[in-house]
């Protein structure tokens, strides 16, 4: 084959998968394989998949089956699956879905160029899902596809084994990336005009590279002059230290937003989930965060219908939501994952009940979110302008430091800039406003720039 092979990747799941796709872009292009933005042009279609809930897997299988018909039109077309579902199911995925040509797990992406090239010569190859707890993809730098904001992976894997969660099984053990590589990557991003970066890991608060902890890493990233905003996900309540909260307060670039999954508002359920904290500990953290960073936005994840969850225990979650008033909550009904501890519990809650509780949770959170967003009316907020609004060509859309999508009338020339917007309206999860002043240099929110 003389022409370069073209690969199209469709990504599902969390930010870690988005970041891995960018890593795979880099691995492929380094090996003379082209990345295609169009599925129609591709010689190879890859699905980067998620296993976190049954529904996530079903969705991808549906998509893969849809694209199978392309094989009758393009004989040489190959379809591959990578990511967490590839890791979880391996061979079974191929047995159940005959058209899948190859399956590659989360620690084997370096092998992708060889696997892809060989496929056309030796179609016998099927899978490589060996977990390699040492694989950090050192020396590789992702190709970031977005504009303005980019993810930087700081760690891989997870050691927490929350009893409901598949992630530790499909991502291997927790390991932290060399801070010098992270700094180098972020500096490069700054040079490419990415002004906002999000540090990524399943549990960023336990980052530790040869004794250098997350607080120290944040301090170092905060010193990179070309970066204006720093975010990080995900924080774990058991590991979020006073030191990190202090750095958040003192480091000008760290945004006033934290995603802090609580999962449940009941201590017994938290214990069964193996989360390692209590409701009291969580509430105290929220108090410290709000004291250190007044107005900080707090978002969370919550699961309904965990095995054995009683009506009363579910009510405790609703009560906690009312008390804390999260800016936003990602809510999920419990999905049993084979191989996890909770999937074997014999007190599973019926599907309809899990769903009914989920709906109650969503409707409570909708009210709280609207209230929190309405509290913003009259405020002047710094917005990093990302794009023309989907709904109107005359409006722009961007995000505030506290992670609220904000839409306002403005000229396209402001895209990529920081502006001040006066908030005049709040709908669902969007703020609306009008341009207050155009400014190039972001405001430093009276924090000390260290």
Residues that bind ligand F3S (CB under 6 A): 13-14, 16-17, 50-52, 83-84, 166-167, 170-171
Which of 99, 117, 168, 435 touches ligand SF4 by CB under 6 A? 168
Range list of β-strands (E), 389-446:
395-400, 405-409, 418-427, 430-438
For ligand SAH, which is the closer residue by CB, 33 or 86? Answer: 86
Sequence-ordered list of residues with C-beta below 8 angstroms from that of 189, at least 6 positions apart, any chain: 144, 150, 152, 197, 227
167 belongs to the binding site for ligand SF4 (CB under 6 A): yes
Nearest distance, CB of residue 265 and ligand F3S, angstroms = 22
- Rounded distance, CA 388 to CA 4, Å? 34
For ligand SF4, which is the closer residue by CB, 170 or 255? Answer: 170
332 binds, among ligand SF4, ligand F3S, ligand SAH, none (CB under 5 to 8 A by kind): ligand SAH
Q: How many residues bind ligand SAH (CB under 6 A)?
A: 17
For ligand SF4, which is the closer residue by CB, 33 or 162? Answer: 162
Which of 155, 167, 258, 289 touches ligand SAH by CB under 6 A? 167
Residue 168 and residue 161 in contact, taking contact as beta carbons nearer than 8 Å: yes
Long-range residue pairs from 408-414, CB within 8 A, at least 24 positions apart, any chain: 408/383, 408/432, 408/433, 408/434, 408/435, 409/434, 409/435, 410/385, 410/435, 412/388, 414/385, 414/438
316 binds, among ligand SF4, ligand F3S, ligand SAH, none (CB under 5 to 8 A by kind): none
For ligand SF4, which is the closer residue by CB, 159 or 347? Answer: 159
Residue 152 and residue 200 in contact, taking contact as beta carbons nearer than 8 Å: yes
For ligand SF4, which is the closer residue by CB, 54 or 193? Answer: 54
For ligand SAH, which is the closer residue by CB, 337 or 417? Answer: 337
For ligand SF4, which is the closer residue by CB, 168 or 416? Answer: 168
Residue 341 and residue 307 in contact, taking contact as beta carbons nearer than 8 Å: no
**Residue for token digits 């802090």?**
260
- Rounded distance, CA 408 to CA 398, Å? 9
For ligand F3S, which is the closer residue by CB, 51 or 251? Answer: 51
Strand, helix or coil at 257? strand
- Rounded distance, CA 196 to CA 33, Å? 29
157 Rama class: left (phi>0) / alpha (psi -120 to 50) / beta: left
Which of 102, 164, 214, 232 touches ligand SAH by CB under 6 A? 164
Nearest distance, CB of residue 42 and ligand SAH, angstroms = 29
50 binds, among ligand F3S, ligand SF4, ligand SAH, none (CB under 5 to 8 A by kind): ligand F3S
Angle at 273 between CA 260 and CA 343, to 5 degrees: 125
53 binds, among ligand F3S, ligand SF4, ligand SAH, none (CB under 5 to 8 A by kind): ligand SAH
Of the CA atoms within 13 Å of residue 309, those in its CB half-sphere come to 30
- Rounded distance, CA 114 to CA 126, Å? 13
- Rounded distance, CA 429 to CA 376, Å? 12
Mask for 188-217, x = binds ligand SF4 (CB under 6 A): --------------xx--------------
Q: How many residues bind ligand SF4 (CB under 6 A)?
A: 10
168 binds, among ligand F3S, ligand SF4, ligand SAH, none (CB under 5 to 8 A by kind): ligand SF4
Residues 219-278 within binding reach of ligand SF4 (CB under 6 A): 236
Which of 81, 93, 152, 158 touches ligand SF4 by CB under 6 A? 158
> Which of 73, 79, 120, 83 lies closest to 98, judged by CA?
79
231 belongs to the binding site for ligand SAH (CB under 6 A): no
154 belongs to the binding site for ligand SF4 (CB under 6 A): no
Which of 334, 373, 384, 418 touches ligand SAH by CB under 6 A? 334
Whether the link from the prior residue into 234 is cis, omega within 30° of 0, is yes
Interface with ligand SAH (CB under 6 A): 52-53, 164-165, 167, 202-203, 234, 236, 261, 263, 301, 303, 332, 334-335, 337
Interface with ligand SF4 (CB under 6 A): 158, 160-162, 165, 167-168, 202-203, 236
């Amino acid at each position: 084959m003389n022409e370069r092979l073209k690969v199209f990747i469709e990504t599902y799941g969390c930010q870690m998968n988005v970041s891995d796709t960018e890593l795979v872009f880099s691995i492929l292009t380094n090996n003379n394989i082209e990345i295609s933005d169009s599925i129609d042009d591709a010689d190879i279609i890859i699905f980067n998949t998620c296993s976190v809930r049954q529904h996530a897997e079903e969705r991808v299988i549906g998509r893969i089956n849809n694209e199978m018909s392309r094989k009758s039109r393009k004989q040489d077309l190959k379809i591959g699956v990578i990511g967490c579902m590839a890791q979880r199911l391996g061979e079974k995925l191929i047995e159940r879905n005959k058209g899948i040509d190859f399956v590659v797990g989360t620690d084997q992406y370096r092998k992708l160029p060889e696997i892809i090239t060989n496929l056309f010569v030796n179609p016998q190859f099927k899978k490589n899902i060996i977990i390699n707890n040492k694989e950090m993809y050192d020396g590789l730098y992702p190709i970031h596809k977005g504009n303005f904001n980019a993810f930087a992976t700081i760690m891989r894997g997870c050691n927490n084994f929350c009893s409901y969660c598949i992630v530790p099984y499909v991502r291997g053990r927790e390991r932290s990336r060399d801070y010098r590589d992270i700094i180098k990557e972020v500096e490069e991003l700054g040079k490419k005009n990415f002004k906002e970066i999000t540090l990524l890991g399943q549990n960023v608060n336990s980052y530790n590279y040869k004794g250098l902890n997350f607080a120290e890493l944040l301090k170092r990233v905060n010193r990179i002059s070309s970066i204006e905003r720093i975010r990080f996900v995900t924080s774990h309540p058991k590991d979020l230290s006073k030191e990190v909260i202090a750095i958040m307060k003192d480091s000008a670039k760290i945004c006033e937003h934290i995603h802090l999954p609580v999962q449940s508002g009941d201590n017994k359920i938290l214990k069964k989930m193996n989360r390692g904290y209590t409701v009291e500990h969580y509430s105290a953290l929220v108090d410290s965060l709000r004291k250190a960073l007044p107005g900080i936005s707090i978002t969370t994840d919550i699961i309904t219908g965990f095995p054995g969850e009683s009506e009363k225990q579910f009510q405790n979650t609703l009560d906690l939501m009312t008390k804390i008033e999260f800016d936003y909550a990602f809510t999920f009904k419990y999905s049993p994952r084979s191989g996890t501890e909770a999937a074997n519990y014999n007190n599973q809650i019926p599907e309809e009940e899990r769903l009914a509780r989920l709906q109650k949770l969503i409707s409570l959170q909708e009210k709280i979110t609207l209230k929190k967003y309405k509290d913003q009316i009259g405020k002047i907020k710094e917005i990093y302008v990302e794009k023309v609004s989907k709904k109107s060509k005359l409006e722009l859309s961007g995000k505030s430091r506290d992670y609220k999508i904000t839409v306002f009338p403005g000229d396209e020339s402001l895209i990529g800039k920081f502006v001040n917007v006066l908030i005049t309206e709040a709908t669902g999860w969007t703020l609306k406003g009008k341009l207050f002043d155009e400014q190039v240099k972001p405001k430093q929110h009276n924090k000390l720039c260290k």
